[in-house]
Amino acid sequence: MIRTSDALAEITARLREAGIDEPRREARLLLAAALGVSTGGLLARDNVDQAAYAPLLARRAAREPLAYITGHKEFWGLDFLVSPATLIPRPDTETLVEAVLDAKLQPRRVLDLGTGTGCLLLAVLHETPGAWGVGVDLNPEAAALAARNAERLGLGQRAAFLAGSWADALDAKFDLVLTNPPYIESADIPGLMPEVAGYEPARALDGGASGLEAYRAIIAVLPRILAENGLAVLELGADQAPFIWALAEAAGFTCATRRDLAGIERAALLRFRK
């Protein structure tokens, strides 16, 4: 047993050596997860057993994402279960939720393509009580995890999740279509942060040689699945907006974009051209 303060100092030093950003903050989160308490609960612990946190510390020092170690990640103020079958929800993606709310669409039927944890769909359903939605993911494990998140958040009666390729299995129209597709160029993936390149699912990252393969597939199917006055909101990678504009215009849509907090055009908003 060692003092809790000494344990935090040890974990912080180890994470700093491993090149982790904000090692002190992550040390508190990691130790709290190891002990099964909140970060505030650490204050009540005078001593801890090193064996309780050593395995988790070794995993994080190897650059495994903290969210995969703890099994949780916050998005839009909601707590989501995560696993290696899904991308880890990111603050940048909240830009899409903001765009939907500012559009004042009030959708009844929502579709989330490549749903992962379900964070986009469930955040929107949380904010629009009259809506129900469908999430689709190619990975059955991801679809099952999203369903668990829906139940945990009290949205299980308003959301269904399917395993499939984009909208191939669907024969319906939706007022709102959401997607955070894979958009990293294949050649760029090895150079991403170790947490991303080494641990997050490649199929959810790899957008092909140009980074645009998923957008082409999704925009091609939008005329079939988007309601006449509906809205499609797509997450974008940096510098991809002009290419998405061109794809959208060629398919008969108007396109507007919304920037994230870093000033990057992060969301594309597509509507049928009148």
Residue boundaries of the structural domains of the chain: 2-62, 72-272
Per-residue pLDDT of the chain (274 residues; tens, 9 = 90+): 899 999 999 999 999 999 999 999 999 999 999 999 999 989 888 899 999 999 999 999 999 999 999 999 999 999 999 999 999 999 999 999 999 999 999 999 999 999 999 999 999 999 999 999 999 999 999 999 999 999 999 999 999 999 999 999 899 999 999 999 999 999 999 999 999 999 999 999 999 999 999 999 999 999 999 999 999 999 999 999 999 999 999 999 999 999 999 999 999 999 999 8
Q: Give domain 72-272's CATH superfamily.
A: Vaccinia Virus protein VP39 (3.40.50.150)
**Structure token digits, residue 42:** 């650490």
Amino acid at 66: L
In 3D space, the residue among 94, 92, 31, 36 whose CA is nearest the CA of residue 66 turns out to be 31
Q: How far is 55 from 69, CA to CA, in rounded Å?
A: 10
**pTM for the predicted model, two decimal places:** 0.95
Q: In what order do the strands lie in the sheet with 226-235?
A: 159-163, 132-137, 109-113, 174-179, 226-235, 265-272, 253-259
